[in-house]
Structure 1
Amino acid sequence: MLVVENLSVSYKAIKALVNLSCRVEKGEIVALIGANGAGKTTTLNTISGIFPAAAGSVVFEDEDITRVPPHEIVKRGICQVPEGRRVFAKMSVLENLEMGAYIRSDRKGIAEEMDRIFHLFPRLAERRKQLAKTLSGGEQQMLAMGRALMSQPRLLLLDEPSMGLAPMLVEKIFEIIQEINKAGTTIMLVEQNAHMALSIAHRAYVLETGEVVLQGPAKELAENPEVRKAYLGE
């Protein structure tokens, strides 16, 4: 579904990604793990068209999208849930979700999708008229995910969904990620909590200073002594 080949990204003199290659098959959850500054978020932002690639290519469903602008990438079927949630604070839950459907014009389909989001996140249904800024961190994360799903992405990019959340909420968010995947959405997940990421992913890539240093089935990586020592605190 997604093939990233020899991707390089620089911020002025700093090389953020160096010849990074990875792939995502349809129906998978693929995790990117690594320390802060490893290039995980940069990878997602480059796939989304937010950061320009200095070299390499991003191919989605056999189409080269390396130079396609972000709003067009959303139309192609890729949507990103950004790190830090970034909901529209002064808009209601309902308005935030409607913003997620800005590329769509099928009113009936939008209404059906909204119902699906409220079924997936009952807490949002209860707070549909509240301003986003009044929600808890966990509720804002649910809203950011719901907003992205309103565009009906075939590939959902999730950047640090557990950041700043209480352990109980982290488990709930990861359960919902699995539900979204089982319902047919392919997922690429960037996550600081390597243990949780590897527990739900099918495959994973370990990044260090902008390069892939390890890759393979998530269960195998979770048993890898280097990974356990560096990222699982064992």
Structure 2
Amino acid sequence: MLKVDEIDVYYDNIHALKGVSLEVLAGEIVTLIGANGAGKSTLLKTLSGLLRPKTGRIDYFGQSITNKPVQSIVQSGISHVPEGRRVFANMTVAENLDLGAYIRKDKKAIEEDKQAVYALFPRLLERKKQLAGTLSGGEQQMLAIGRALMAKPKLLLLDEPSMGLAPLLVKQIFQIIQEINQNGTTILLVEQNANMALSIANRAYVIETGNVVASGTAKELQSSERIKQAYLGGM
């Protein structure tokens, strides 16, 4: 589905990603783990077109999307839930969801998908007329995911969905991520909570200072002593 081949990405003179390669197969949950500043969010921004690689290639279903504009990438079926949620604070929950479907014209299907989002996140239905800026952190995360789903993505890029949430909410968000995947959406997940991420992922990549330093099945990385010490609290 997605193949990243030897991409280099810079922020001005900072070499943020160094020859990164990875693959995501249709139907998988693949997670990226690593410390803050390792390049995980930079990779997602590059995949969604917010950043451009200096070298390398990104293929999606066998076609290059390396330098495509953001709107074209969204239309191809990739949605990005950014770190920090980035909901439109002065718009209602329902208006945020409508904006998620801005590339679509099928009004009846859009309304059906909105109802599906409300079924996934009943809290959003209760607050559909409420301004997004007044929601709790967990509710804003639900809204950010719901808004991304309104574009009907085949591939969902999730950046730190558990950040700042209480443990009970973290568990709920991860259950919903699994449900979204089981409903047919492939997921590339960036997550600081490596234990939770590996518990739901099929495969994982470890990024350190812009380099992929390890990869394998989630179970392989969970049983690696080096990964345990570095990212799993020595469990």
TM-score (normalizing by structure 2): 0.99
Identical amino acids, percent of aligned pairs: 62
Question: Secondary structure at 2:148's aligned position in 1?
Answer: helix
Could you tell me how far 1:219 is from its partner in structure 2? 1.0
Q: Hey, what's the Cα distance between the residues in 2 that align with 1:28 and 1:11? A: 30
* Partner SS state of residue 197, structure 1: helix
Q: Which residue of 1 aligns with 2:10?
A: 10
SS in 2 for 1:128: coil
- What is the CA–CA distance in structure 1 between the aligned matches of 2:111 and 2:11, rounded to whole Å? 41
Instruction: Give 5+ residue unaligned stretches, structure 2.
Output: none
In the alignment, what sits opposite 1:67?
67
Structure 1 segments, 4+ long, off by >3 Å, are none
2:140 alignment partner AA: Q
TM-score, normalised relative to structure 1:
0.99
Name the residue aligned to 2:42. Answer: 42
What's the Cα RMSD here?
0.4
Count of matched residue positions in the alignment of Structure 1 and Structure 2: 234
2:199 is matched with 199
How far apart are 1:29 and its partner, in Å?
0.2
How far apart are the structure 2 equivalents of 1:196 and 1:50?
A: 27
CA displacement at 1:223 relative to structure 2: 1.0
Amino acid at match of 1:176: I
Partner Cα distance (1:208, 1:120) in 2: 34
Residue 29 in structure 1 maps to residue 23 in structure 2: no
The residue that corresponds to 2:165 in the other structure is 165
- Cα deviation digits, residues 49-92 of structure 1 (max 9, x gap): 10010100110011100010111100000010000000000000
Distance 1:80 1:175 in 2: 19
Secondary structure of the residue aligned to 1:174 is helix
Alignment of 1:1-234 (within 5 A): 1-234=1-234
Structure 1: 5+ residue stretches without partners: none
Output the amino acid matched with 1:139: E
